Amino acid sequence: MYIELREPIFGYLLRLSGEYDLAEELTQETFLRALQALPKFRNESSLKTWLYAIARNTYLSKMSKERPKGIVLTSFAEVFMESGESHMDPAEQLLRKEQSLSIKRTIYNLPETYRTVIILREFEELSYGEIAKILGKTENWVRVTFYRAKQKLKEAYADLERRMESED
């Protein structure tokens, strides 16, 4: 279980928190909680879906205890940098990385529910049904929330671009 699912859970928590060390800690806590709760697992969902739900709850619990709202990221670029762009012109690489970083910062600044749905759907590539089970909602709720999250993301990104253009 751990070997197979550690990386997806860690990646989810890394995208959700934006901090490598925190994601590492949350991943360990997630698997500890899962191990303790394993006798209660009822096979109503896949083990992977169940672990994502535990990971999210672990994250929310940690944030409610230790973090003020409005977290400022210090190493966000390291969290999301894409590879495989080495064939591009360096100026184009930089532009793409800046755009990617802007989009991901915008995602990070969305309300937690929107951010979670986008991360699980787009980055973790989970189905609407799997996300519904993780969040304890209906599949239709997830579809509507995903749509709203994308709309909110478009608006926030457009605002960011306008602010950047006005600074130039």
Every domain of the chain and the residues it spans: 1-71
Half-sphere exposure of 65 (CA within 13 A, CB side): 6
Tokens of 92: 């184009």
Tokens of 71: 């977290």
Contact 80, 104 (CB under 8 A): yes
Of 127, 77, 126, the closest CA to residue 104 belongs to: 77
- pLDDT in 10s for each residue of the chain, 168 residues: 788 999 999 999 998 888 899 999 999 999 999 999 988 888 888 889 999 999 999 999 998 887 544 444 433 434 444 444 456 677 777 777 777 777 878 888 899 999 999 999 998 999 999 999 999 999 999 999 999 999 999 998 888 778 877 776
Contact 146, 128 (CB under 8 A): yes
Rounded (10°) angle between helices 128-135 and 47-66: 50
The CATH code belonging to domain 1-71 is 1.10.1740.10
Of 76, 139, 84, the closest CA to residue 104 belongs to: 76
